Structures are given as structure tokens and as C-alpha cells.
Amino acid sequence: MDDISFLDVSAVLGLFAASLLTLNILLGMLLATAYKRTAIYKKLPAKIKKLSINDIHNWTAYVALSLVVLHIVFLLLNTATKFRIVDALFPINAPHQKLEVALGTVALYALITAIITTQKPIRKKMGFRLWKNIHLISYGTALLFVIHGILLDPELKDRPVDWLDGEKLVPEFCGIILIVAVIVRWRYHVKVKK
């Protein structure tokens, strides 16, 4: 595989991770509601009702984290970018787009934090309220990975953003979906509080 191919694979893995994280956040929002009492849920086929939304939510997080790690590994395999492991984990001296890389790095750490604190023994020790407050960082994580995907030059040549580039449409679409979902979720929250 030549250097360009490693960079292409890294970019595609990042796009899949962003898409899966978007699905994961949507499932998390669904879990935070009384979705099983809705008319739509009651009309679903029994096979779909048997699916565990919680298990799917957890597994999408694990797979997304794996994709993010592979995204970084393939970036590091590309010798032309001059990225080192330290640049990916602490991008203070990253060779390209420090701020954009930093947004992705912080999103990675937030994702790891959300996954670790969701493990049953840790969650039990923390208690529900503390766990819930920490788990709410997922909204910030979504913002970070969407901005990271939109602003980062896919060829790492520090070019300006091409808003209509095919690789930008995925994080842009994820961002739109998440904005709409947050608005719907907020309206649901306000309605339930009344």
C-alpha cells in the first residue's frame, strides 16, 4: 500500500466512525426517553421489539472506538504526513492542522471516558447522577468529531475547507442529524417536565 492509500483508508475509517457515533448518540437519546410507550414502537414487528437498543448502543460505541483507533493507526502508517503517535495523542506539535487534530484527539478521550464509565462495576460505584452527568459529554464529543471531520483537510495539505467535497458531506450530514435530534430531544425533555 502506498502512502496515499494509507491516508485514504484513514479518512474512510474516520467517516465510518463519525457515522457510527452519530447512530450511537441517537440510540442514547432514544434510551433516555419512554420510547416503548409510544404508538410507533407499539406498531413495530415483534422481531424488532426483541432487539436490545441498549446492547446495540453499547456495541456501536465499541466498534466506533475501534474504527477511531484504526483511523489513527492508518494515519501513522502514512510516512508522508510525518505524524507520530505523540502527535495523535498530544497534538501540540502536530505537523499539520494542530487545532483540527486536537479536536479529534479530545473527542477520542471523551469517547473513551464515556465507554469506561459505562462499564457496570464503574457505573455502579459512581451512582446514576454522576454517571449521567459524565455521560452527557457525548453531546460535546459529537460536536468535536463533526467539526474535526469538517475542518480537517483529508489530504493533510492544510488547504481551506471545501464544503461540498464528498468527504465533508458525511460529517456535515451527521452534524445536521445531531442538531435536529438535540432539538427534538430538548423539546421532549421540556414536555415531560411539564
CATH code, 179: 1.20.120
Encode pLDDT of 59-98 as tens digits.
Answer: 999 999 999 999 999 999 998 889 999 999 999 999 999 9
Number of folded domains that form the chain: 1
pLDDT tens, position by position, 114-140: 999 999 999 999 999 999 999 999 999
CA distance 99 to 58: 29
Q: In the chain, what percentage of residues exceed pLDDT 70?
A: 98
d(CA 51, CA 55): 8
CA 49 to chain centre: 25
- CA nearest 24: which of 177, 189, 127? 177
State percent of the chain over pLDDT 90. Answer: 77
> Highest mean pLDDT: which of 40-49, 153-162, 168-177?
168-177
What is the residue range of 47's domain?
Answer: 3-193
Q: Looking at the predicted structure, is the pLDDT value of residue 3 above 50?
A: no
Rounded distance between C-alpha atoms, residue 28 and residue 135, angstroms:
10
Residue 4: predicted pLDDT:
59
In which residue are the cell numbers 410507533 written? 40
| Average pLDDT score over residue span 100-115 | 96
Q: What is the pLDDT of residue 178?
A: 96
